[in-house]
Structure 1
Amino acid sequence: MHYGSKGWYVEELKKHGVTHYEGRKLQSFKTYFLANLLETRKSQQS
């Protein structure tokens, strides 16, 4: 998987325990949305 690809973001979010968001699978979202979601998850854990 390439850094910054949609699949990479999905895998990183799964590592943080996120598999669904608002009742939808992560794969159904656009890459830019997954990137923003990952940033918010990282900042919440800090």
Structure 2
Amino acid sequence: MYVGSKGWYVSELKKLGVSYHEGRKIEKYDASTLANLLESKKN
């Protein structure tokens, strides 16, 4: 798994305890949305 790939974002978000966003599983979102979500959760 490469840093910056969709799978990497999913695993990083799950480490932070995030499995759902707006009622949908995070696996359903594209990488750019996951990147923004990860950035907002880190701050």
TM-score bracket, normalised by the shorter chain, equals over 0.9
Q: Which amino acid aligns with 2:2?
A: H
Taking the aligned partners of 1:10 and 1:38, their CA distance within structure 2 comes to 9
Quote how far apart the aligned CAs of 1:22 are.
Answer: 0.9
Code of the residue aligned with 1:8 in structure 2: it is W
Whole-Å separation in 2 of the counterparts to 1:31 and 1:6: 5
Q: What fraction of aligned residue pairs are identical, expressed as a percent?
A: 58
Displacement of 1:40 = 0.3
Q: TM-score, normalised by structure 2?
A: 0.95
Number of residue equivalences: 43
Q: What are structure 1's unaligned runs of at least 5 residues?
A: none
What letter is aligned with 2:10?
A: V
Q: Which residue of 1 aligns with 2:18?
A: 18
TM-score by length of 1: 0.90
Q: Which has the larger radius of gyration?
A: 1
1:10-45 deviation digits (Å, cap 9, x = unpaired): 0000000000111101010010000000000001xx
